[in-house]
Amino acid sequence: VVNNRITWLFHYSALLSAVAEANVPLARAVNITGFHNILDIAAEHNLRLFVPSTIGAFGPTSPRNPTPDLCIQRPRTIYGVSKVHAELMGEYYHYKYGLDFRCLRYPGIISADSQPGGGTTDYAVQIFHDAIKSSKFQCNLKPDTRLPMMYIDDCLKATLDVMEAPTTSLSMRTYNISAMSFSPEELVQEIKKHIPEFQVTYNVDPVRQAIADSWPMKFDDSNARRDWGWKHDMDLSELVTTMLNAIGSDSRVAQTN
């Protein structure tokens, strides 16, 4: 931070929801102690600090359809607990010490460039790889499990927009952002428009299903849209076309190599 004259810090390190449940001590170390380290550095060096939060910061007692920015947050996962902690500590440091803390609650993020990383929303990334590779997919959530999702480009745009937003436009320090909500069966239907022979079976993972059932089905992001002009670009049909094209061309390159 000192040698490179860093002024903005984006802190992404975290174990995602499903892997965190399988290793709570590691999740505590990375998601909570790791965040404390970053918070100290940001406060000491007067940095603008971005930390992503998540749909996982809500729980079974939160309103799920839609979930507003301010409501009950009693997550039942260590991942969710660590993210509520980050939201509250960041906001506390902002009000107490003037730290320029900015936080977005991300939906499930979908990208062709990275492999799934142990989250509950990962099925919505893996499904594209398997559809291209074998036209078959085994889904670990029930077909009607609806969750908020977003394409990576929208996520990165929101992140830069909120970091660049004038302080005076921010009425809060933690915002929901939303693009679309869908269930596995809706995603499958959309993929079948491109790959009609695509076959899906359901083999529900009880840990992931319980997590998904406690999370928002739809995010209310009206404060982000009003305060700093948040607007998503990509809906479900465009997401599916983009993902199939990106992963399809990667696998063609791999085959010819």
Return the residue of 34, 90, 119, 216 that touches ligand SER, per CB under 6 A.
119
Binding of residue 174 to ligand SER (CB under 6 A): no
Comparing CB distances to ligand SER, the nearer of 10 and 41 is 10
Interacting residues with ligand SER between 65 and 104 (CB under 6 A): 79
16 or 240: whose CB is closer to ligand SER? 16
Dist CA 76 CA 59 (whole Å) = 6
Site stretch for ligand SER (CB under 6 A), options 33-41, 51-59, 95-103, 232-240: 51-59
Q: Which of 79, 93, 123, 151 is catalytic?
A: 79
**Under DSSP, is residue 201 helix (H, G, I), strand (E, B) or coil?**
strand
CA distance 161 to 169: 12
Q: How do strand 48-54 and strand 147-151 relate by DSSP bridges? A: unpaired
Three-class SS state of 210: helix
Buried b (16+ CB within 10 A) or exposed e, 181-192: bbbbbebbebbb
Place of tokens 């506390």: 92
Kindly tell me which residue out of 55, 125, 150, 158 binds ligand SER, with binding defined by CB under 6 A: 55
Pick the closest to residue 233 from 121, 169, 156, 128 (CA basis).
Answer: 156
- Contact call for residue 56 and ligand SER (CB under 6 A): yes
Does residue number 140 form part of the binding site for ligand SER (CB under 6 A)?
no
Q: Is 93 a catalytic residue?
A: no
Q: Report which residue's Cβ sits closest to ligand SER.
A: 119
Task: State which of residues 73, 82, 121, 223 lies at the interface with ligand SER (CB under 6 A).
Answer: 121
CB 116 → ligand SER: shortest distance, Å?
Answer: 9
Applying CB under 6 A, among 31, 73, 120, 181 the residue interacting with ligand SER is 120
What does residue 62 show for φ and ψ, rounded to 5 degrees? -80, 150
Determine the longest span between alpha carbons in the chain, in angstroms. 58
* Candidate residues 38, 39, 47, 54; the one interacting with ligand SER per rule CB under 6 A: 54
Strand, coil or helix: what is 141?
Answer: coil
Residue 221 phi/psi, 5-degree rounding, is -115, 30
Question: Which residues, including other chains, have CB under 8 Å from residue 198's CB and lie 6 or more apart?
Answer: 131, 135, 136, 137, 188, 191, 192
Question: Among 11, 17, 214, 217, which residue sits at the site for ligand SER (rule: CB under 6 A)?
Answer: 17
CB of 106 to ligand SER, least distance (A): 6
Which residues are marked as active site? 79
For ligand SER, the binding residues (CB under 6 A) are: 16-17, 54-56, 79, 106, 108, 119-121
